Amino acid sequence: EAGVAQSPRYKIIEKRQSVAFWCNPISGHATLYWYQQILGQGPKLLIQFQNNGVVDDSQLPKDRFSAERLKGVDSTLKIQPAKLEDSAVYLCASSPGPSYEQYFGPGTRLTVT
Amino acid sequence: QKEVEQDPGPLSVPEGAIVSLNCTYSNSAFQYFMWYRQYSRKGPELLMYTYSSGNKEDGRFTAQVDKSSKYISLFIRDSQPSDSATYLCAMNQFYFGTGTSLTVIP
C-alpha cells in the first residue's frame, strides 16, 4: 500500500512570496490533515478535511494560509504572502475516517529567507 | 501552562538499555494517548495507541497511562540503534508534545 505522498520535499522562498504544497493521501482515506511542525516542536494541526469538507480550521492563519481538497482526494496548502516565521515542515496525514490512527507523509521543509 | 509537556532530551543510552520516555498533561478530558516515532527528515509514525488508563505492550514497547497523575510513559526494552529517533507523545489525536530525541549507542 502506497503511503501519503507530498511534494515538493524542500522549498526555499523569500518573504512575501507565495508557495503551494501538494498532498496525495492513502487511497480510500476520507480524512486528511495538514500540520505545521516548527523545529523542536510537535506538529500543530492547521486544518482537517473530511472528504472535501472542512472539519476544523481553527488554527489556520486565514489571512495568509488557504487549503483545499477538491474531489475529496488530493489537497493543496498555500501560503501567500510568506513570513519568516512560516519556516517549518508542513506535514500531511490521512486516515480512513476521523480516527486516531493517522498516517503521515514525509513532509515539505519550507525555508523563508 | 502547555497542555502537554515533554522533556526534549537529548537522551543517549547504550544498546540493550531500557529507555523510559514520559509526558505530562493538564487537561483531564484527554482520553486517547499516542506515541509516535519520527526519524530525521521523515513524518511521524504511530507506535502505540492507548485508551484511558492502563498498560499496553507491543513487542519491545510498553505504553503506560496514569490518568490520576496525568502522566504517560513509553518504555523501550532491549533498545537498538535503529530506535534512535525523536519520540512524540500525543493526546486526543491533536495535542502533541515537543518530542524527546533518543540516541542508542552501539
Contact A91 B32 (CB under 8 A): no
Q: Could you tell me how many residues make up chain A?
A: 113
> Which residue of chain B comes nearest to A4, CA vs CA?
B43
Determine the Cα–Cα distance for residues B12 and B10; give it in Å rounded to an integer. Answer: 7
Q: Which residues of A touch B41 (CB under 8 A)?
A: 106-107, 109
Low-confidence ranges of chain B (pLDDT < 50): none
Give the list of residues 6+ apart from residue B86 with CB closer than 8 angstroms, or none.
B37, B38, B39, B40, B99, B100, B101, B102
Contact B41 A101 (CB under 8 A): no
> Between these two residues, A91 and B2, which has the higher pLDDT value?
A91
Provide the 3-class DSSP secondary structure of residue B83: helix
By the 8 A CB rule, do B78 and B54 touch? no
A11-66 pLDDT, tens digit per residue, is 999 999 999 999 999 999 999 999 999 998 999 999 999 988 999 999 999 999 99
- What's the gap in Å between the CA of B4 and the closest CA on chain A? 10
CA distances from B11 to B44, B53, B62 (A): 18, 26, 18
Q: Which cell is B59 given?
A: 513487542
> Which residue of chain A comes nearest to B43, CA vs CA?
A106
Portion of chain A with pLDDT greater than 70, in percent: 99
Whether the predicted pLDDT of A1 surpasses 70: no
pLDDT at residue B33, rounded to an integer: 94
How is A18-69 classified by DSSP, letter by letter?
-EEEEEE--TT--EEEEEEE-TTS--EEEEEEETTEEEE-TTS-TTTEEEE-
Contact A91 B97 (CB under 8 A): no
Interface test with A, best of B94, B96, B100 (most A CBs within 10 A): B94
pLDDT at residue B52, rounded to an integer: 82
Interface test with B, best of A39, A44, A94, A104 (most B CBs within 10 A): A104
Nearest by CB to residue B34, choosing from A93, A100, A106, is A100
Contact A109 B41 (CB under 8 A): yes
pLDDT at residue B60, rounded to an integer: 97
